[in-house]
Amino acid sequence: MPTAVDFLSGKGSRFKVTFNNTFWLIKTKTWKITENATLVADDVNGEDRSRLQKLINFYDAAFDCYEDGAVSQILQSIVTNQKNEDASFPQLPMSGGILFNQLDGSRQGFSCINCTLGPMSFGSGGRTERIMHNLSFRFQYFQSVKTV
């Protein structure tokens, strides 16, 4: 096990996506997964405190990606998916996974289940800045998976 000083850095994490039977390893600068939840507080007569609960609605994932040619393919797949939806066909199949390579050599993996595309944006900065794309996904379930 890593000691308290062995923090994991960004080089130890990868995000992989399967979209319409195409596999991508997204090269990200930053990424973030956020839980969307409803906080419940039931006030019951005669009790001195509310009964608390958290209900998970879904998860949001956002990625700041470098343009390396692969992201342009992702954007093309997003356009293809939009054409599919405009024609009233179901969304193309999509799933995602996160892998952490721990400093002690172990690995930890998570799966994003029932994914859907979220808003995206892309643009260019100055002459010496890298072109970045902002991709987002939403998914219903976030589960730990066995790694090898």
CB 137 within 8 A of CB 58: no
Which residue intervals of 45-140 are DSSP H helices?
Answer: 70-86
Kindly report the CATH number that applies to the domain delimited by 12-41+51-145: 2.30.110.20
- For residue 1, the model assigns a pLDDT of 55
For 12, the 3-state DSSP assignment is helix
- For residue 39, the model assigns a pLDDT of 97
Q: What are 103-145's pLDDT values in tens digits?
A: 777 888 888 898 888 888 877 878 888 888 888 889 999 998 8
pTM across the whole model: 0.77
Matching residue, tokens 């209900």 = 55
Segments making up each domain of the chain, as ranges = 12-41+51-145
Give which of 145, 143, 142 is closest to 59, Cα–Cα.
142
The C-alpha atoms of residue 142 and residue 144 are separated, in whole angstroms, by: 7
- For residue 145, the model assigns a pLDDT of 87
For 5, the 3-state DSSP assignment is coil
Give which of 110, 108, 113, 99 is closest to 141, Cα–Cα.
113
